[in-house]
Amino acid sequence: MKYAIFGNATYNQEIHNKLQAINFVPEQENPDIVISVGGDGTMLRAVQHYINQINKVYFVGIKTGRLGFYTDFLPTQLDELVEVLQKKTFEVCAFNLLEYKLVGKEHSKTSYALNDLAITNPVNTQIIEVLIDGLHFETFRGTGFLLSTPSGSTAYSKSLGGSLIHPKVKAFQLTEMASINNRIYKTISSPLVLHQEQTIVLKSSNYENVVLISDGIYESFKDFDQIEATLSDKTVSFVTKLKDDFWSRVQRAFI
């Protein structure tokens, strides 16, 4: 088994020693398993780093931060991690990615996010036409939107009043950021949960001041006028010691 270590280097030597003792081979470029050491942000960056080979890689998180939705093991549990990897006594949780395409007049670009894509205008009122499977649903005025996956529903989406969605539900969510609602302008004002076969299109004649943040990483793409999004078939596979533990994770983190 080939492995890569990503993130905080504090435990690198210890991890190398323990994994090589069970004949695992270090391989940063083409690993079978990525060991992310840090918080959820580190895991999100590890997923982006290996996005082009996502169907071939397993991820496991060693939590050095305080809250970890994607990180199951503590640094004090390295022996346990090595044992479950050696004996293959782990569970695999597969989380679908959000797939989004930025469409410009001359170019387009397809990318993926494990948690979410934030589309925000910190300067002006952003006007966005919202289309669901071709239906013109509404004209939005406000700060922007967040598109999120079920596994991302406990992150930024939750702060925006979105629903918590079990990651086995094949859906994605659109939440508003500071919509303008008055006598003249109106939006639905509720988070929308769309199913996997649906596509949402967010069109604007002026995305100039909009900032795109994908999984906490600034996304640079100039001169686009349309964002198309859906839930991808692509998944991220996590090695976890607990079986389908989403609601107890939610309970531990928030209650």
Give the residue with the Cβ less far from ligand NAD, 40 or 99: 40
Which H, E and C letters describe 100-120, residue by residue?
EEEEECCCEEEEEECCEEEEE
Query: Closer to ligand NAD at the Cβ: 115 or 232?
Result: 115
Residues paired with 235 in a beta bridge: 96
**Of 32, 40, 133, 244, which one is the catalytic site residue?**
40
Residue 32 neighbours by CB distance under 10 Å: 14
> In the complex, what is the shortest distance from the CB of residue 11 to ligand NAD, in angstroms, rounded to a whole number?
18
Say what angle helices 12-20 and 78-87 make with each other, to 10 degrees. 30
Give the shortest CB-157-to-ligand NAD separation in angstroms: 7
C-beta of 72 vs 215, nearer to ligand NAD? 215
Q: Minimal distance in Å, beta carbon 232 to ligand NAD?
A: 16
Does residue 40 have an active-site annotation? yes
The helix or strand, by DSSP H or E, that contains position 121, with its residue range, turns out to be none
Q: Which residues pair with 36 in a beta bridge?
A: 6, 61
Q: Residue with CB nearest ligand NAD?
A: 41
Complex with ligand NAD: residue 66 or 222, whichever CB lies closer? 66
User: Cα angle at 217 between 118 and 81, to 5 degrees?
Assistant: 115
Cα-based torsion angle of the residue sequence 64, 68, 72, 77 in order, rounded to the nearest 10 degrees = 20
Q: What is the binding site for ligand NAD (CB under 6 A)?
A: 39-41, 44, 67, 69, 115-116, 151-152, 154-156, 159, 215-216
Question: In the bound complex, what is the minimum distance in angstroms from residue 114's beta carbon to ligand NAD?
Answer: 8
Q: Which helix (H) or strand (E) holds 23?
A: none
Catalytic residue IDs: 40
